[in-house]
Amino acid sequence: MTRLRVFRCILTTQDFLYFASYDVKSISFTEKIIHNFALSYAIHYCNSVIDRTKKPQYEQDMKSMTKFPTPAMIIDDPTLVEHTYNALDDSSQKTKKTKYEKTFSPSYGTYYKIPPNTKFSFYLVCIDNEPPRRIIRLGKKDCLCTIDFYELNKVVQKETDIRSILISHPINPVELQAEIESYERILFIPPSPITLNTRIIGKYLQATDNKGTIHKIAITKRFQSAFIN
């Protein structure tokens, strides 16, 4: 049997964090939540998705992973910072020209980024003996992020059959082992949606911090075969 260890993590951005959650023409917005797939790759220092000629193989890549983060929810609510760009070709230092254009014309666009010193919270379920990493990189420009964490106590597996319970974190429904009864909001963030304030029926993990606060963590398909000693 494998003893699950559960950590409460606080991630702090040390630079502007940007990833295209959704686009409106030439404007790209960064949602104020970090997908658990992105965290999984960052925490394991994976490089397989850097090859731009290949698509990420999520199921295959994650089979070898031993740490399972939940989606990270923003703690404070900063205003997104607007960054305007003018796209240039790296070699010619000119904007790209199509066959229909007689002259080069600027290609303007806007990114809305999360500012430095923004904090996110998430849970990390581990089935190995290695502590969580304290420094990772996220986003399109490899934003440096630091992670502070503490381990939760009294981790037990519980199950509810009739009455639903409120999970303490955002959920990736694609990975969920239990049944979703309701949620307050759904965010369509590639590669899969994230639900907020989700109530589930089924198995989940319950853990306690040093202040006696109870945390309820969803069990995902990725670590369902691991058990508490």
> Binning pLDDT at 50, 70 and 90, where does residue 24 land?
confident
Residue 160 CA to residue 149 CA, distance in Å, equals 28
List all residues 6 or more positions away from 138 whose beta carbon is below 8 Å from its beta carbon.
13, 17, 19, 34, 38, 39, 42, 145
Tell whether the model's pLDDT for residue 32 goes beyond 60: yes
Q: What is the pLDDT of residue 164?
A: 93
Contact 155, 202 (CB under 8 A): no
pLDDT in tens, 50-59: 455 566 677 7
Contact 4, 31 (CB under 8 A): no
Contact 32, 77 (CB under 8 A): yes
> Binning pLDDT at 50, 70 and 90, where does residue 228 land?
very low
> Binning pLDDT at 50, 70 and 90, where does residue 106 land?
low
Q: Scan for tokens 């106590």, then name that residue.
A: 153
Q: What is the pLDDT of residue 49?
A: 46
Average pLDDT over residues 167-196: 92
Q: Looking at 30-141, list the stretches that DSSP marks H as alpha helix, in order from N- to C-terminal side.
A: 36-43, 58-62
> CA distances (Å), 4 to each of 68, 183, 221, 224, in order?
11, 27, 14, 11
**How confident is the prediction for the chain on average, in pLDDT?**
83
Tell whether the model's pLDDT for residue 229 goes beyond 70: no
Contact 152, 208 (CB under 8 A): yes
Average pLDDT over residues 206-211: 94
Contact 68, 222 (CB under 8 A): yes
Q: What is the pLDDT of residue 99?
A: 53
Residue 216 CA to residue 92 CA, distance in Å, equals 54
Q: Give the residue with greater pLDDT, 120 vs 103.
A: 120
Structure tokens at 172: 């990736």
Residue 36 CA to residue 14 CA, distance in Å, equals 19
Domain residue extents for the chain? 5-218
> Binning pLDDT at 50, 70 and 90, where does residue 101 land?
low
Residue 110 CA to residue 24 CA, distance in Å, equals 10
| CA neighbours closer than 13 Å in the CB half-sphere of residue 145 | 31
> Binning pLDDT at 50, 70 and 90, where does residue 19 land?
confident
Average pLDDT over residues 199-226: 88
Structure tokens at 71: 């989606």
Q: What is the pLDDT of residue 44?
A: 84
